[in-house]
Structures are given as C-alpha cells and as structure tokens.
C-alpha cells in the first residue's frame, strides 16, 4: 500500500536526481528561458508545470481508485490563503527580478551559471531574514484567511474530485492554446542554443 513514507537518503537522492535531470532538460536552468515566461514570449514554465500537475494529480487519483493508496495519506499544504498570496507574490517578484526560483537556481548553478549561486545566497539570506523576524506580525500573517474546514476544494466546498481534475485539464488546454498563440506573436521561444549563449 502506498505511499511508502520512505524519507531516507536514497529516496531523497533518487527523486532529486530525476527532478534535476528533467528541470535542466526542460530548459529551466536558464534564467533567460525562465524569465521569458513573464515576458509572455516563452510559455514553457507554465506548460511544463500544468502538464506535470495534471499528470501527477490524475496519477494519484488512479492509485486511490485502484485501491493502492488510501485517501488523506499524502501531504496537502494548509489552506493559509493570506500567506500563500503574499508568499506567491514575493516568489513571483523574485523570479521576475532574479530569473530563478529556489529549485531552478540549483539547476542553473549546476549547468554552470554563477549568477544562480548568488541567487542561492539570496534565498539563504531571505530564509534567515524570515527566521530572525519571526514574531507576532508574521504569525498573524500565516494565520490570516486560514480555512479551518480543510485544505482542498473537495474538503471545503464539496466539489467532486473529478470536477476539480476536469477543470485542471481545461486549464492545461488553455495554457497550451493561449501560450502557443502568444509565442507565435512574440519574439519566439528561447532555444537551447540561445540559453547556453546567455542573455544578450
């Protein structure tokens, strides 16, 4: 019965190696490729993310349907909506300014990018800054707009899981459709050749 709840070294290394291998092959070690998402000229970030979300969500649903995974056995983030909104805005701003997010900066560094190392230093400083200033203000930010009834649309609003999956599927089609249309009108997607040459 899954999940195996294996949180050992080999499990972490295996998942990480596969994660890093896919990220770099998607082009996500390049800040030019990554930041082109926000210039709307290259939609790879959202195309890859939405595809992965749908594949994994449908996979988890199938595992439960087949009786291989019990409900409520995997980690779901707490529905702390204010914290998610403020944090999402800051990570988005950091991505637009720095060209990476925490995970992709590691892929950037290990494809040779020294600016990614500086980004990682920034992530560590930001993490330290949060810990040092953790007090009443940040605690109340984390507690604001917290949905106590549950963490998913199914738990809180009784939306059937299949409906949630169908909406995600439609969102995926929309991302590919509108994304590709923006890509055709824009300056074109960032090729591996351009990414390796660096920003110009």
Partner 1 sequence: MSALEKHGNPEIKPFWSPLAAGIALGLVLLLTFVLSGHGLGASGAANDVVAGVGLKLAPEATRANGYLGPVVADGSPIGSWMTWEIVGLAIGALAAAFMAGRFRVQLDGARSVGTPARLISTLAGGFMAGLGARIAGGCTSGLGLSGAAALGISAFVFLALFFATGLIVSRLVKGV
Among positions 10-49, residues that touch partner 1 (CB under 8 A) are 11-27, 29-33, 35, 37-40, 43-44, 46-49
Closest separation in Å from C-beta 170 to partner 1: 14
CA–CA separation, 192 and 28 (whole Å): 10
CA–CA separation, 33 and 198 (whole Å): 10
Q: Is the CB of residue 126 less than 8 Å from the CB of residue 69?
A: no
- Contact between 1 and partner 1 by CB under 8 A: the answer reads no
- What are all long-range contacts of 68-73, with beta carbons under 8 Å and residues at least 24 apart? 68/1, 68/2, 69/1, 69/2, 69/3, 70/1, 73/2, 73/3
Closest separation in Å from C-beta 173 to partner 1: 12
Closest separation in Å from C-beta 71 to partner 1: 12
CA–CA separation, 96 and 128 (whole Å): 21
- Contact between 103 and partner 1 by CB under 8 A: the answer reads yes
Read off the tokens for 166: 């169908």
Binds partner 1 by CB under 8 A, chosen from 126, 169, 182, 186: 126
Binds partner 1 by CB under 8 A, chosen from 67, 71, 122, 162: 122
CB-side neighbour CA atoms (13 Å) of 79: 13
Closest separation in Å from C-beta 13 to partner 1: 4
Q: Is the CB of residue 145 less than 8 Å from the CB of residue 80?
A: yes
- Contact between 137 and partner 1 by CB under 8 A: the answer reads no
- Contact between 192 and partner 1 by CB under 8 A: the answer reads yes
What is the H or E stretch that residue 104 is in? helix 102-109
Closest separation in Å from C-beta 188 to partner 1: 13
Question: Which residues, 144 to 173, sit near partner 1 by CB under 8 A?
Answer: 147, 151-154, 156, 161, 164, 168
Question: Which residues, 39 to 98, sit near partner 1 by CB under 8 A?
Answer: 39-40, 43-44, 46-57, 59-60, 63, 69, 73-81, 83-98
């Amino acid at each position: 019965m899954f999940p195996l709840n294996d949180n050992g070294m080999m499990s972490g290394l295996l998942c990480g190696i596969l994660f890093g291998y896919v990220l770099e092959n998607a082009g996500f070690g390049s800040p030019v490729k990554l930041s082109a998402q926000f210039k709307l000229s290259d939609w790879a970030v959202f195309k890859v993310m939405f595809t992965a979300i749908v594949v994994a969500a449908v996979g988890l649903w199938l595992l439960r349907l087949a009786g291989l995974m019990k409900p409520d056995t995997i980690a779901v983030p707490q529905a702390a909506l204010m914290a998610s909104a403020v944090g999402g805005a800051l990570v988005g701003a950091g991505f637009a300014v720095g060209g990476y997010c925490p995970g992709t900066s590691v892929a950037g560094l290990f494809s040779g990018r020294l600016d990614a190392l500086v980004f990682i230093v920034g992530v560590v400083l930001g993490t330290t800054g949060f810990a040092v200033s953790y007090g009443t203000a940040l605690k109340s930010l984390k507690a604001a707009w917290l949905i106590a009834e549950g963490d998913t649309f199914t738990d809180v609003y009784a939306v059937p899981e299949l409906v949630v999956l169908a909406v995600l599927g439609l969102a995926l089609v929309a991302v590919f459709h509108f994304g590709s249309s923006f890509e055709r009108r824009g300056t074109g997607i960032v090729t591996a050749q351009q990414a390796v040459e660096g920003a110009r």
